[in-house]
Amino acid sequence: MKLHVHNTLTKRKEEFAPLDPANVRMYVCGPTVYDFAHIGNARPVVVFDTLYRVLKRLYPGAVTYARNITDIDDKIIARALASKRTIDDITQETTRAYHEDMGAIGALRPDHEPRCTQTVPEMVAMIAKLVASGHAYAAEGHVMFNVPAFADYGRLSGRSRDDQIAGARVEVAPYKKDAADFVLWKPSTPEQPGWESPWGRGRPGWHIECSAMSEKLFGPTFDIHGGGQDLIFPHHENEIAQSVCAHDGVQFVKYWLHNGFVIVNGEKMSKSLGNFYTVRDLRGKAPGEAIRLLLLKTHYRAPLDFTDDGLKQAKGDLDRFYTALKNASDVTPSAAKADKVFDALLDDLNTAKAIAEMHEYASVLNAPRSPDAKAALLDAGALLGLAQGDPLAWFQSDAEGPSAADIEAAIQARLDARKAKNFAEADRIRDDLKAKGVILEDGPKGTTWKRG
């Protein structure tokens, strides 16, 4: 079975055939670092992290994953002004928090995390090239990309020129030659961060960064470009225009992948609506691993309705996996692989199916306790970034509630009571612990406990 992915460019599922199997390249749009990441920001991270894991298995040692960090942006400038902090301070702290949060939800670090501030010369060079080739023009300190100069504009998002004009709500700046033209470079005031350029001191527009950073790392053409569906237009459409025109018409990206939104109460979760949950906050409610599983339970292109109950259920799913592993601690895993899970992932990253198969492995591990099932369950977890931890730690490590020593002491007291057939006392101890969030399980090898 071969990997198939849904390509936004063709609107259909296609077999994935890398440009160069010895050099598979994936670029995903990363965060603008001015605030904590919310669960909607986390979705593409987890989705493409899973794809990264699949690609690494298919092309061992040949996959390069890049995810940028946008550290030049007007929202950052605004945040700095409002909080009286420096831009560096904000971007560095936010980047650190981002790494923590994404690590907590099991995301591997990309091979490269390019930053805008370290790619300005490349952006300037690309803009200059576009000006020289007639695809862009300077006007009033700005440099604009001239959309009519790129015949293929609109192909990714499926928008025609007429649609653009009909639906245009954008205020047309007087220096634009065409209403659809967009900014490559804009002037900075003395207070704003800026860099010297042939068009004066200024800063890059939003879209050019990804074109420049991907070119720097990957060259003019690469395999996969990912991001959220809200980036299809205008961001990715504009990236294509810039990159293709800067590279004499050479193809930019072979496969465009986009994840669906996280919604809450029927509405898209977004910063502008203010209806978002930060990953940081959710980590206080559930383990990061449960947040990850929640994001993977729905196919990546479908909308995902976030609820507290869904988060609880995801936690419950993990409990089931870890229970199976805990109860099978004496089973030595074979060399079996999670073939069904892998096949599901190869089919356009069908994580929902993959998790269902993972449940099947857990069932087999519970019942016939087969070494194959244990190996497969663990392998499934490795592919999905789940259930890799120590089962006892999963159930027992929690800051709240009685200490492990107190619990052990209570268990011993209860054991004594049971030996004396004093079941009333034994049950009292058990109920007491339960009230404190500790559940006891009497098994053939003695009593174990977990935090509920």
Partner RNA sequence: GGCCGAGUAGCAAAGUGGUAAUGCAUCGGAUUGCAAAUCCGAUAUACGGCGGUUCGAUUCCGCCCUCGGCCUCCA
Contact residue for RNA among 176, 186, 292, 299 (CB under 7 A): 299
Name the residue nearer to RNA (CB basis): 29 or 120. Answer: 29
Q: Give the interface segment with RNA, choosing from 110-118, 157-165, 191-199, 375-383 (CB under 7 A).
A: 157-165
Decide if 222 contacts 62 (C-beta within 8 A).
no
Within 306-325, which residues bind RNA (CB under 7 A)?
A: 309-310, 313, 316-317, 320, 323-324
- Tell me: does residue 4 bind RNA (CB under 7 A): no
Nearest 5°: the CA angle 446, 447, 452 is 155
Q: How many chain residues interact with RNA (CB under 7 A)?
A: 79
Q: How far is the CB of 123 from RNA (least distance, A)?
A: 15
Within 385-414, which residues bind RNA (CB under 7 A)?
A: none
- Tell me: does residue 235 bind RNA (CB under 7 A): yes
- Tell me: does residue 161 bind RNA (CB under 7 A): no
Within 51-80, which residues bind RNA (CB under 7 A)?
A: 75
- Tell me: does residue 106 bind RNA (CB under 7 A): no
- Tell me: does residue 115 bind RNA (CB under 7 A): no
Long-range CB pairs of 38-41, under 8 A, 24+ apart, other chains included: 38/269, 38/271, 38/276, 38/277, 38/278, 38/279, 39/262, 39/269, 39/276, 39/277, 39/278, 39/279, 39/282, 39/291, 39/295, 39/306, 40/228, 40/261, 40/262, 40/268, 40/269, 40/270, 40/276, 41/279
Q: How far is the CB of 449 from RNA (least distance, A)?
A: 9
Pairing of strands 262-264, 253-259: unpaired
- Tell me: does residue 423 bind RNA (CB under 7 A): yes
- Tell me: does residue 430 bind RNA (CB under 7 A): yes
Rounded to whole angstroms, how far apart are CA atoms 39 and 17?
A: 31
Name the residue nearer to RNA (CB basis): 32 or 242. Answer: 32
Distances (CA, A) of 320 to 314, 317, 366, 390: 10, 5, 10, 14
- Tell me: does residue 242 bind RNA (CB under 7 A): no
Contact residue for RNA among 95, 278, 327, 396 (CB under 7 A): 327
Distances (CA, A) of 410 to 355, 400, 415, 437, 452: 37, 17, 8, 14, 17
Q: How far is the CB of 88 from RNA (least distance, A)?
A: 20
- Tell me: does residue 247 bind RNA (CB under 7 A): no
Q: Give the interface segment with RNA, choosing from 50-58, 140-148, 159-167, 190-198 (CB under 7 A).
A: 159-167
Q: What tokens were used for 157?
A: 């998002």
